[in-house]
Amino acid sequence: MTARAIYFRSPQPFADIQALQEEWARARYADAIPDTVLFLQHAPVITLGRRGRTQHLLASESLLAERGIALHRASRGGDVTYHAPGQWIIYPILKLGALGADAHGYLHNLEEVTIRTCADFGIQAERVAGKNGAWTTAGKIAAIGFHLKRGVTLHGMSVNVSVDLAGFQLIVPCGLVGDPVCSMATLLQDATPAMETVREQLRLNFEAVFQRRLTIEHR
């Protein structure tokens, strides 16, 4: 089967996309669909992973509602994070094979996609021992939280491009006290690339790292 990339044109509600991932993961396990990678931006939302602790949520539900920020429990691993427009979300629904058959190898590959993409725009990003994601001198630029279900991946990673970082002040991002969050805009300012430009580099690097050619579909 040819793998595919689904590009969503407008910011998507988290609950709708989580339900879609669950549906497509079942289909992927049954080989009813090919490997599929979702590229999207979320409408403003705070999500808590399976291990997410509510003490890392610094705002009440009423305050979040007042600011138009949804709150959801996610089926992914990890703690608490924030999503909003200006941030690329990549949700791979892959049946892992010999090239990425365990969680550690899969995590490494997701980090590599972000590290290569940052380098394409002159940003040095790297791994930090004991912490998931991709990091720069200004802070964490990409967060990773996924779930393996019967050998099929769900959820994935978020990469901060030009997202309003104020939303992260409502949480302790990923449960890491004192670790700042940054974006491409933090580092590049007026030279920040367009969202579509970053998406294309993410796709190309995903293809290279995961050794899958992706055909593009729009939704």
CA distance 99 to 7: 25
CA distance 199 to 203: 6
Active site members = 174
Contact 154, 93 (CB under 8 A): yes
CA distance 143 to 90: 11
CA distance 80 to 170: 10
- Would you state the structure tokens that stand for residue 163, as one six-digit string? 């997202």
